[in-house]
Structure 1
Amino acid sequence: MTPFGQENPIEDGMRTQVAESWHRSAAAGVSVDEVEAPITLTSDLLRDHREAHPLAQVFPLLDDVLGQAARDCDAIMAVSDASAQLLWVSGNPQALRRAERIGFVEGANWDERLAGTNAPGMALTLDAPVNVVGSEHFRSSVQRWSCAASPIHDPNTGELLGVLDITGGEEIVVPQTMAMVRAAARMAETELGMRKLAASTMPPEPRRTSGLRVGVECLGRNDALVTVDDGGGHRSTLRLSPRHSEIVLLLASAPRGLSGDELAVLLYEEDLPVSTLRAELNRLRNLLGEELLASRPYRLVAEIAGDWVAVEARLAAGDVAGAMRRYRGPLLPRSTAPGVIRLRDAVATSLRRSLIGSGVADLMSSWTRSSWGSDDYEMWTAQRAAVGPGSPLLPLIQGQIERLDRELG
């Protein structure tokens, strides 16, 4: 039977997402021989953090449904925050006592970069439901356990709130386990949404056409994803053509707007008739709406949020890890528009310099294991210096440097 109903791995091999988690764990310095996960919330801090956390509203419901199922089958249910700190752990008493030996307790942090490969940590890193079965765990002390976890999001904002996990022995390695965990996570999100709706007793404010909010996603995408929120509860999402994606990115990066000539210089590699740009803008206006795309100068009349702007903001705040988590790849990677190339290089260069300057091996590893960073010689050499002579990743890093030496001559 395929564990938890997931895809079949190659026999005697390792699933790609598990292998990548092992790399992140090793790069972060986790030892396979470490027995317990670290405690990052002492009992007094845990109590306050738990009471203030949004998932406190739905934990009784989760415990009644999934927690009871865990108690019935010698397993454990756990709920973490978005930092992988376990806020609630409940289940079969015998299983709980066994779990204490590996540090699977309230207040412990199961981020994969602290505790090695595990389902709650991977679910947070990937923002997706995952399972980890037995020997797929990075630390030897955890390999007698299996676990399935699913993220829980704020139903209104989409913010990642935490993870719901069920952990046990071989008896939970069945497809129904993952289905049950995912269903319980969705139930929690639905309950949060209903509670917010019930708490909203004030009459709605009048609709304002000037309250438009636009989210633009261009990182790692060849076509931009644009979400328009009118501020009154109506939201729509559009996937734009490559050319319209370039225009929206350039306008989103120029709050004061651009003249037709300025936009043309940034958009086209060669001189083209003014009518070509006007035609593109008219088609884009028909998609976005007259009130959103204004002219003289051309500009987006809305509050703009861009995924690349979030990366730049994290870098400005010194949060290199947060910037790397949000960087899904180069801006519109196939675009040859001069203005897009300039923006793409600026974001990538800033992040790359910050990664090298951080001296943090696991962050550099995330870059070199990506499609855009696999041939980054300087990053590989910086990663070699950061991991130290005793790292299990050193042979892999040295092999990649030698490959690039051969290819670059």
Structure 2
Amino acid sequence: MSSPWSRPAVSPENSGLLIARAHDELLAGNEDRRLSDVRPLVQESWRRSLASLVGPEGLPTLDLASEELEAYRRAHPLAGVMDMIRALLLPGSAEDSGVVVAVGDAAGRLLWVEGDRQIRARTGDMGFIAGANWSEDVVGTSAPGTALTLDRSVQIRGAEHFNRLVQPWSCTAAPVHDPETRRLLGMIDVTGGPEAVTPQAQLLVDATARAIESEILVGRLRAQQDPPPRRPRRSPGTRALLRILGRDRALLEVSGESGETVVELGARHAEILLLLAVHREGMSAEALSEAVYGHPATETLRPEMVRLRKVLEPLAPALVPASRPYRLPEGLETDAQQMVSLLDRGAHRVALAAYRGPVLPDSVAPGVAEVRESVRQALREALIEEAGIDVLLAYADTVDGREDAEVLRLCLGMLPARSPKRAGLVSRIERLEQD
């Protein structure tokens, strides 16, 4: 089946220039100037974005990390209609459809992002990925967030986006409701070029939302006639995150039914928890002591494990390591693993913003040094192979990138011939070569 997405006959460039000027005036504090060139719906959304202190070039927050995302979307009411959404909005080959289709929850968090491979790579750079929060009070005016705010279908064209990073794109989104209670379940969004904001696009997205609601109702009626066996409900477990990027002393953040607790760990305890988080299958006492001390030192390791258990027992009993082998009973996420997950999803700009620096930079533990280098290489290689020039230039200004001649030369080759940034790069390259 051919793609339903076709470009409009009229080019929006002239209108986009006027809207962009109005956006600049608004950010400069001149609210009354040029706003007549902007649709009232967009004007009101821009004002809400300002009131929410949304940054004009900010990035969305990553609210759902990889494992949490998988569990959450499996249980979401829209999981059962994803095949219908794909059939209606991405017929034929989704990989070259010309658009990206996103499905999110009522809070604006994207749960599925599918469609054209090249567009996904480019939109991922601004954080348009599964797990990211695209509500209006986080990223400003956009079809997904504004549709949820207004509880109606919305089209946002290019320069109408509040966030400048999103302005190369256009999008159409519609909310999806529970067919019985009319409670908001989430939204569906189509993002791409001008073809994503035609009148036909809005009709198609609206029709898909209504079809989804009907399918949910039909599914419930079938379930009532032939109810599946009930599974025992699991109580929410403990969530733990170990922050180790750019930190000499790690932070352990633990959240559960009783709230959230943050504790700063000693250097040795941070090293042990990091290694057990990376080696989820567990480590023998010999392997863990070599990774921590650089040589077999099980007699030194054992009392350290006793002290670590005493720290964890009142804070997070579910994280107390088991023995033989040493292993964490529940998964412990690290901010380094989350950053690598962002790279895997194509969110290079968000990943770079999340990279606060090397993993436990003062640690000399061999196992930690191995993790540190692995994370550094993952970031560097992903940016070299896939990132745009703006992200690569930002990486070139980090501790890891500022003396990387290969990165600097790649930036130089990607910049236009008359770019004022070229002179500085040439100077930096020459200085590195002299040294």
What band does the TM-score fall into relative to the shorter chain?
Answer: 0.5 to 0.7
Structure 2 residue aligned with 1:225, among 251, 268, 271?
Answer: 251
The equivalences for 1:83-162 within 5 A come to 95-99=31-35, 106=42, 120-122=55-57, 124=59, 161=135, 162=137
Residues in 2 aligned to 1:262 and 1:314: alpha-carbon distance in whole angstroms = 30
Instruction: Report the secondary structure of 2:332's partner residue.
Output: strand
Residues in 2 aligned to 1:315 and 1:255: alpha-carbon distance in whole angstroms = 21
1:36 Cα offset (Å):
5.4
Residues in 1 aligned to 2:44 and 2:406: alpha-carbon distance in whole angstroms = 36
Matching residue's letter, 1:237: V
Residues in 2 aligned to 1:123 and 1:265: alpha-carbon distance in whole angstroms = 43
Residues in 2 aligned to 1:244 and 1:357: alpha-carbon distance in whole angstroms = 36
Residues in 1 aligned to 2:18 and 2:434: alpha-carbon distance in whole angstroms = 41
Residues in 1 aligned to 2:282 and 2:403: alpha-carbon distance in whole angstroms = 37
The equivalences for 1:47-66 within 5 A come to none
What is the match of residue 309 of structure 2?
285
Q: Is the 8 A contact 2:318 2:330 kept in 1?
A: no
Matching residue's letter, 1:267: V
Q: Is the 8 A contact 1:99 1:105 kept in 2?
A: no
Residues 215 and 108 (structure 1), Cα distance of their counterparts in 2 relative to 1, 3 Å cut: same
Residues in 2 aligned to 1:349 and 1:105: alpha-carbon distance in whole angstroms = 45
Q: Is the 8 A contact 2:392 2:407 kept in 1?
A: yes
Residues in 2 aligned to 1:250 and 1:333: alpha-carbon distance in whole angstroms = 15
1:306 Cα offset (Å):
1.7
Structure 2 residue aligned with 1:37, among 20, 33, 36?
Answer: 20
Residues 99 and 105 (structure 1), Cα distance of their counterparts in 2 relative to 1, 3 Å cut: farther
Residues in 2 aligned to 1:105 and 1:391: alpha-carbon distance in whole angstroms = 37
Q: Is the 8 A contact 2:61 2:132 kept in 1?
A: no
Matching residue's letter, 1:227: E
1:399 Cα offset (Å):
1.2
Q: Is 1:372 the counterpart of 2:400 in the alignment?
A: yes
Matching residue's letter, 2:393: S
Residues in 1 aligned to 2:44 and 2:415: alpha-carbon distance in whole angstroms = 25
Q: Deviations over 1:20-55 (max 9, x none)?
A: xxxxxxxxxxxxxx8753999xxxxxxxxxxxxxxx
Instruction: Report the secondary structure of 1:375's partner residue.
Output: coil
Please, what TM-score do these two structures have when normalized by structure 1?
0.52
Q: Is the 8 A contact 1:228 1:237 kept in 2?
A: yes
What is the match of residue 370 of structure 2?
342
Instruction: Report the secondary structure of 1:229's partner residue.
Output: strand
Residues in 2 aligned to 1:102 and 1:275: alpha-carbon distance in whole angstroms = 71
Instruction: Report the secondary structure of 1:331's partner residue.
Output: coil
Q: Deviations over 1:323-358 (max 9, x none)?
A: 223222211112111111111111111211111112
Gaps of 5+ in 2: 1-16, 47-52, 63-107, 110-130, 141-183, 185-231
Residues in 2 aligned to 1:402 and 1:100: alpha-carbon distance in whole angstroms = 51
Q: Is the 8 A contact 1:315 1:351 kept in 2?
A: yes
Residues 227 and 38 (structure 1), Cα distance of their counterparts in 2 relative to 1, 3 Å cut: farther
Instruction: Report the secondary structure of 1:279's partner residue.
Output: helix
Q: Is the 8 A contact 1:38 1:109 kept in 2?
A: no
Q: Is the 8 A contact 2:348 2:387 kept in 1?
A: no
Structure 1 residue aligned with 2:418, among 390, 403, 409?
Answer: 390
Q: Is 1:251 the counterpart of 2:186 in the alignment?
A: no
Instruction: Report the secondary structure of 1:215's partner residue.
Output: strand
Q: Deviations over 1:356-397 (max 9, x none)?
A: 112511111111111232111111111111112121211111
Gaps of 5+ in 1: 1-33, 41-74, 79-90, 111-117, 128-152, 166-198, 200-204
Q: CA RMSD in A?
A: 4.3
Q: Is 1:215 the counterpart of 2:151 in the alignment?
A: no
What is the match of residue 67 of structure 1?
none
Instruction: Report the secondary structure of 2:20's partner residue.
Output: coil
Matching residue's letter, 1:214: A
Instruction: Report the secondary structure of 2:253's partner residue.
Output: strand
Matching residue's letter, 1:121: P
Instruction: Report the secondary structure of 2:309's partner residue.
Output: helix
Q: Deviations over 1:274-306 (max 9, x none)?
A: 221112111111111154222222122223222
Detail structure 1 runs of 4+ shifted over 4 Å in the superposition.
Answer: 75-78, 99-105, 107-110, 122-127, 157-161, 205-208
Q: Is the 8 A contact 2:242 2:332 kept in 1?
A: yes
Please, what TM-score do these two structures have when normalized by structure 2?
0.49
Residues 226 and 338 (structure 1), Cα distance of their counterparts in 2 relative to 1, 3 Å cut: same
Matching residue's letter, 1:236: T
Q: Is 1:320 the counterpart of 2:345 in the alignment?
A: no
Instruction: Report the secondary structure of 2:32's partner residue.
Output: helix
Instruction: Report the secondary structure of 2:279's partner residue.
Output: coil
What is the match of residue 149 of structure 2?
none
1:245 Cα offset (Å):
0.9
Residues in 2 aligned to 1:376 and 1:108: alpha-carbon distance in whole angstroms = 45
Residues 206 and 256 (structure 1), Cα distance of their counterparts in 2 relative to 1, 3 Å cut: same
The equivalences for 1:172-321 within 5 A come to 211-230=237-256, 232-272=257-297, 274-289=298-313, 290-293=317-320, 294-321=322-349
Q: Is the 8 A contact 2:245 2:360 kept in 1?
A: yes
Residues in 1 aligned to 2:328 and 2:22: alpha-carbon distance in whole angstroms = 47
Residues 371 and 101 (structure 1), Cα distance of their counterparts in 2 relative to 1, 3 Å cut: farther
1:321 Cα offset (Å):
2.7
Residues in 2 aligned to 1:324 and 1:286: alpha-carbon distance in whole angstroms = 35
What is the match of residue 4 of structure 1?
none
